[in-house]
Amino acid sequence: MLAQAYSALAAPYYAAVDRLIATGHPWAITSVAVKPGQSKLTAELQLQAFVRRSSEDPRPSARVVGRVQVGEVVETPVVFWTVVLMWPAACIRRRLLRVLAAIPIFLALEAATTAAQLVVPMAQASAILAGDSNPLTPWDRWSRFLEAGGQFVMVLCGAIIVCSFTRSRTSLSR
């Protein structure tokens, strides 16, 4: 239930990032929203879009749906904020500084993980429309990296970097 609520709350951010990614491509994103999954047992974050052969085409050539399970969507914030908030801090001021420094890193990680996975079907459709019968786009490769554990590693590294840059500096000299 919390994963579904978070996904719905974050959907406008993913839509904005994906529209930015779609700039310069013959892709038109119509919506990003939480909807029932294909099995109707789980919820998914779904991106719906139209793909054209070229930007000048008046009618779309394909309608695509990008899907990410809400359980996957919530992985980044759970891991990232747990590490950032549980990392020891000398004082409240240091912890608040860490949270402020973490926000842009977190937003970048969300763009590089969940938002990037939503655009994979658009890239695949573009490759197929261009004549590639078995497309393996850079977006596919990135998605496979994320699904093979890369997302966890990136999120954990991002959180550790934030914590290490905002730790209190102590003198090593005696």
Q: Is 42 contained in some domain?
A: yes
Number of domains in the chain: 1
Q: Provide the pLDDT for residue 2.
A: 86
Residues in the chain: 174
Q: Is 171 contained in some domain?
A: no
Please choose, from the candidates 41, 174, 66, 80, the residue with its C-alpha nearest in 3D space to the C-alpha of residue 122. Answer: 66
| Stated pTM of the model | 0.88
The answer to whether the CB of 21 falls within 8 A of the CB of 121 is no
From CA 105, how far away is CA 2, in angstroms rounded? Answer: 22
Q: Is 170 contained in some domain?
A: no
Q: Is 113 contained in some domain?
A: yes
CA angle 127, 133, 137 (to 5 degrees): 40
Query: pLDDT tens digit string along 124-161?
Result: 999 999 888 778 889 999 999 999 999 999 999 999 99
Q: Is 49 contained in some domain?
A: yes
From CA 140, how far away is CA 150, in angstroms rounded? Answer: 13
Q: Is 11 contained in some domain?
A: yes
Q: Is 174 contained in some domain?
A: no
Query: pLDDT tens digit string along 92-105?
Result: 998 999 999 999 99
User: Which residue range forms the structural domain that includes residue 37?
Assistant: 2-165
**What are the Cα distances from residue 120, in Å, to 65, 94, 95, 100, 147?**
9, 39, 37, 31, 13
Q: 146: which 2 tokens?
A: 């994320």
Q: Is 173 contained in some domain?
A: no
